């Protein structure tokens, strides 16, 4: 009976931990987010650091867990990235520069086909000041595109699976902005 109870406790602990929230760099990423009536589970998260500064905390939300970055990029299903600013070192200019750099890395420098959409997304980061605690949700919805939110306010919608692949590829492609963040987002 003791063994059975021990096994049951382990199974319950694992089951509850699978959908648990995650706290990184003082930011709690919720276990679930809902967009367009779809519930998404936290897949994993990471902290983007540069020169010893922890710039933002990021989480990946999927309909079902995955540790395969390429499969996530190819998937034409609702998913989201949540990014919370944690450093005053982030402002509109350097955030836009970092996003541009990320698109270049994720597309191998081939951004011509999506350049207008990248420029529209950059307005999300440059239209008003960025402050510590600002939350950006980048939500892909099939047939609609990427919806970019700042502090729960929809800023723009950018059509195309190709755009979602390039955007999410900033963190999840074979050439991500950092391998450490990619691994964390993929729950590794």
Band of the pLDDT at 41, cuts 50, 70, 90? Answer: very high
Question: Which residue is associated with the tokens 């070192």?
Answer: 89
In sequence order, the 6+-apart residues with CB closer than 8 A to the CB of 111 are 103, 104, 118, 166
* Residue-level pLDDT at 9: 40
The per-residue pLDDT for range 112-136, each reduced to its tens digit, is 999 999 999 999 988 899 999 999 9
Alpha-carbon torsion 66, 68, 69, 75, what sign?
negative
Res 7 pLDDT > 70: no
Question: Domain span at residue 44?
Answer: 2-185
The per-residue pLDDT for range 156-185, each reduced to its tens digit, is 999 999 999 999 999 999 999 999 999 999
Question: Which pTM was predicted?
Answer: 0.86
Report the CATH number at residue 83.
3.50.70.10
Band of the pLDDT at 25, cuts 50, 70, 90? Answer: confident
Number of domains, the chain: 1
**Neighbouring-strand partners of residue 47:** 57
The per-residue pLDDT for range 51-66, each reduced to its tens digit, is 778 889 999 999 999 9
């Amino acid at each position: 009976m003791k063994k059975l109870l021990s096994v049951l406790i382990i199974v319950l602990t694992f089951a509850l931990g699978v959908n648990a929230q995650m706290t990184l760099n003082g930011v709690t990423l919720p276990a679930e987010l809902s967009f367009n009536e779809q519930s998404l589970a936290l897949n994993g998260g990471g902290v983007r650091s540069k020169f010893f500064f922890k710039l933002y905390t990021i989480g990946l939300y999927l309909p079902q867990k995955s540790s395969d970055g390429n499969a996530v990029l190819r998937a034409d299903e609702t998913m989201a990235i949540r990014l919370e600013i944690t450093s005053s070192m982030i402002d509109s200019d350097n955030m836009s520069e970092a996003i541009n750099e990320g698109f270049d890395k994720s597309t191998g420098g081939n951004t011509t086909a999506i350049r207008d959409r990248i420029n529209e997304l950059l307005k999300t980061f440059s239209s008003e000041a960025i402050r510590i605690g600002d939350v950006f949700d980048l939500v892909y919805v099939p047939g609609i595109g990427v919806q970019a939110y700042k502090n729960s306010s929809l800023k723009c919608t950018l059509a195309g699976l190709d755009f979602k692949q390039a955007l999410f590829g900033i963190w999840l492609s074979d050439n991500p902005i950092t391998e450490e963040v990619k691994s964390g987002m993929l729950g590794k």
